[in-house]
Amino acid sequence: MLILRIIIPTLDSYFLMRFITSPFFNIQLKDKQTGTAQPQIPANILQKLKIPIPPLEEQKEIVSRLTHHLGIIDELEENHKALKARIKRLRQAILSKAFKGHLVPQDENDEPASVLLERSEKRDHACESRRNSYEMD
């Protein structure tokens, strides 16, 4: 484990943290890592890395903008999750209504599903009986 201490007074710690967690930084380190189960970066490699350090005020502005935009991204991700959950609930509600017969107006002259199922079962039994009688012959 390596502890980084900032000894440069013109380096904002949040700027450094954002830089270290950036894809740009991680790409630079990818081929310098050692180990497979727990990738590590030797301290001498870290000491040789060059970190772009703009003026302190610019660092603070960069951190401020990043924080703002990352907050927006977090909010959008939360909204996306909520919408996905709502879509799932609506889909289930529509299917439930469809199977209960509440999506379209019902014709009073239509026979109930129970009568239709009963007739279908009788037809199946009759077919089965005929099939069995043919097999015996």
Q: What is the DSSP string of the chain?
A: --------TT--HHHHHHHHTSHHHHHHHHTT-B-SSS-B--HHHHHH-------HHHHHHHHHHHHHHHHHHHHHHHHHHHHHHHHHHHHHHHHHHHHHT-SSPPPTTSPPHHHHHHHHHHHHHHHHHHHHHHHH-
**pLDDT at residue 56 above 70?**
yes
pLDDT at residue 137, as a whole number? 55
pLDDT at residue 1, as a whole number? 62
- Is the C-alpha dihedral spanning 96, 98, 101, 103 positive or negative? positive
- The mean-pLDDT minimum among 17-31, 33-47, 94-108 falls in 33-47
Average pLDDT in the chain:
85
pLDDT at residue 2, as a whole number? 63
**Rounded CA separation 42/49 (Å):** 11
pLDDT at residue 77, as a whole number? 98
- The verdict on pTM exceeding 0.85 is no
Token digits of residue 77: 């991700």
Q: Most confidently modeled of 5-14, 43-52, 57-66, 91-100?
A: 57-66
The residue to which tokens 């401020």 are assigned: 64
Query: Is 5 or 70 the better-scoring residue by pLDDT?
Result: 70
